[in-house]
Every structure is written in C-alpha cells, then in structure tokens.
Amino acid sequence: MLVLGIETSCDETSAAVVEETGDAARPWAIRSNVIASQVEIHREWGGVVPELASRQHVRDICGVVEKALADAAVGWTDLGAVAVTQGPGLVGALLVGMSFAKAAAAAANLPIVGVHHLAGHIESLVLHNGELPLPAVILVVSGGHTSLYLVTQPGSYELLSRTRDDAAGEAYDKVAKLLGLGYPGGPVIDRIARQGNDTAIRWPGTRLTHADRNAPGLKGDLDFSFSGLKTAVMRHVTLLREQGVPLNDQAVADIAASFQRVVVKTLVERTFKAALIHGAKSVGVAGGVSANSRLRAEMRAHGEAREIPAFVPDLSLSTDNAAMIAAAGLRRLRAGITSSMEMNADPALSL
Ligand code: KG4
Ligand code: ZN
C-alpha cells in the first residue's frame, strides 16, 4: 500500500508518499518527502507566530502535496490511504492539514487516519532503521516536547516521563535568542558549541526525585526540567554585562558549549536510566533536537558502552516531516485503525 502523509502541526508544511515493502523487519520505504519550511518567515519574530504559520500552510499545502505525488511518480488512484497529523500542535496550523486531508480523502475516496505527531517522531526511527529490538525506550525531544516512551509492542507507546516545564528544543531556542544567535537556536548552538570550552561554566543538571502533583500516574524521577538551566544562563549573561565583560565570540561559544553539555548529559543519562529500569533491548532518540551532533554522538557512545544499541533517525527525518506521519499512519492502518470524517484537529491530543 502507498500512503500520502500530511504534516502541518507547526512551521513546516510537509507531504510525503511512503510505501510498504513487504519486509517485516524494514516495513516502509520513502517514495517522496517534501518539506516547505517557514523558518525565514518566523525568524524575523524570533519564534513561530501561530497566525502567520496557519496562513503560510494555506498557501503552501496544495503545491507541497502535488510535488510529493510527482516526486513519487504516483497519482491519487495509486494511493491506499491518507494519514494526517491530528495533534498536538498549533490548532490553526493543524487545521490546514486536517482540512486538506479530509477533502482529498473524500474526493479520492480514500480512508483517512489521524496520527499523533509524537507517534510520527517515534516511527521515524523505524522508517530509517527498521523495526527496533523491543522493548525500546524512546526519547522524543523537540521544540515542544521532551518525553520518554516505552515501546513494548510495535505501535504502543507508554509515557514514562516528560519535562515539567520547557522542552529541550525550547531551551535551545531561548538561550540562542539570549546570546543574539537568531532562530531556530538548536542548529546554531550545535555549530558554535564546537568552538567552545564545554566546562567553562559548570551549570548543574536538574535532578527530580519527587512525583509531579500534576501527573499522578508517573513516578517523576525520570522527568526533565530545563527552565532552571535557561534562567542560570540568563543570570550568567546579565552578570557578565554588569561587570562589563565583553560577550565576544569565544565567550558565547563557551556558554553555548557549557549549556549543551548539561542538556545532552541530562537527556542521555535519563534515557539510559529508563532503559535499565525497563530492561530495554534498544534506545532511540527522535524529534528536532535529535539532529544535534553531540546528542547523536553521546547516545551512540553510551549505547556501545552499555551494549544497548542506540538508534537515531536520518537527519532529514529528525525535524518535522510527513514521511514519519505516513509511516505512523501505516502502523495504525495495519492494526485495523482508520479515522472518521468527524475527526478534528486536537492541539492537546494525548498519545
Ligand atoms: O521536531 P521539530 O522540528 O518541531 C517540533 O515538533 O517542535 O523540532 C524543532 C526543534 C527546535 O527547538 C530546534 O531548535 C531544535 O528542534 N533543533 C535542534 C537542532 N536542530 C533542530 N536542537 C539542537 N541541535 C540541533 N542541531
Ligand atoms: Zn515535531
């Protein structure tokens, strides 16, 4: 079966065609994956402006889908289903993809399946690497999320922990803004940190020992928190300014490297701690921040040291894309799940 995937949850308009291979170990292959990034539009404002995002999705969606079909050399009649991100995300942005997907499915007489955005990120690992050894502990780390999931069966995702405040990607973006490095912050900090001394400033990582009153189902000890680190960076920069210390390239690189060391250390340690607790046979990291070079390297190194294979998606599948949505959609379709036309975009959809 060929599935058209559609993703518009944030600031990328994406459409993709993914096909089933018939190989159970490597179930899906990408025929096309088209992404129209809005980063140039939002850069001016230092972050994603929801209303501008929705409007740009409206402008781009038709062309992006046409290109995805053309790149895959398929027409509407070749498709078996449409998969679309239902949530979470920006509601106005989600609505564009949802409306388009419903209209297309109705016109082409195709089944439609709603997909959770994070299920998409998790399945990006399978799309790129094939089925993972299960149980697997998966870290989903992006601009909106930092969560650990336990996958015991393909297509089942059990939440183990999440951030109590900022997502790691959000912390990257805010620290970059503070340092005057522009938007999005992740890729610049990743690059600049290579020139910095990562122990120039020894910020501590946050360790949570108590349960979160707002999440009674979770133990809490595997939770994340990044807002304290962000504040610590802000205080440090303010202090340097007050003392008249110039924030030159080297000072900025040192801050970036020191910040990144703490973030990556926290992410890696907690992922492998969860893996140990749950007897995981593999770990994975997906989502925008999984593009981070240090995180990828440290995940792999820890995996080798602990003899637990660590998987990352291809860089092109780390940030938001529709191929992962089509893949997660195929997973649901093969489990006998389709959605009704009554389905709506849900900005707070839970997995
Ligand atoms: O998954 P994604 O494309 O969108 C969300 O669902 O949020 O993730 C975007 C986030 C942004 O916060 C961006 O700064 C971060 O991923 N990011 C990175 C890198 N590339 C993107 N963070 C750290 N290092 C990178 N190389
Ligand atoms: Zn995402």
pLDDT tens digit string along 35-76? 999 999 999 998 899 999 999 999 999 999 999 999 999 999
Alpha-helix residue ranges (DSSP H) falling in 73-194: 91-108, 117-129, 168-178, 185-193
Q: Please tell me the predicted confidence (pLDDT) of residue 42.
A: 94
The span from the CA of 32 to the CA of 240, in Å, is: 49
Average pLDDT, the chain: 96
Q: Please tell me the predicted confidence (pLDDT) of residue 205.
A: 87
* pLDDT at 216 exceeding the cut of 80: no
DSSP class of 12: E
* pLDDT at 321 exceeding the cut of 90: yes
Where does the pLDDT of residue 108 fall: very low under 50, low under 70, confident under 90, or very high at 90 and above? very high
The CA 49 to ligand 2 mean position distance, Å, reads 16
The amino acid that residue 50 corresponds to is: P
Where does the pLDDT of residue 338 fall: very low under 50, low under 70, confident under 90, or very high at 90 and above? very high
Q: Mean pLDDT, to the nearest integer, of 308-321?
A: 97
Mention every residue, 6+ apart, whose C-beta is less than 8 A from residue 334: none
pTM of the model: 0.95
Q: Mean pLDDT, to the nearest integer, of 80-100?
A: 98
Q: Identify the CA nearest to 284 among candidates 310, 260, 247, 252.
A: 310
The span from the CA of 63 to the CA of 65, in Å, is: 6
Atom 1 of ligand 1: nearest residue by CA position: 288
Dihedral of CA atoms 59, 62, 63, 66 in degrees, nearest 10, equals 170
* pLDDT at 101 exceeding the cut of 80: yes
Q: Identify the CA nearest to 311 among candidates 155, 121, 125.
A: 125
Q: Identify the CA nearest to 11 among candidates 165, 143, 139, 207.
A: 143
Q: Please tell me the predicted confidence (pLDDT) of residue 217.
A: 80
**Ligand 1 mutation target, pool 43, 125, 142, 290, most atoms within 8 A of CB:** 142
E strand or H helix at 160, and its extent?
Answer: strand 158-162
Q: Please tell me the predicted confidence (pLDDT) of residue 65.
A: 98
Where does the pLDDT of residue 144 fall: very low under 50, low under 70, confident under 90, or very high at 90 and above? very high
Q: Is the CB of 253 under 6 A from ligand 1?
A: no
Helix or strand or coil: residue 333? helix
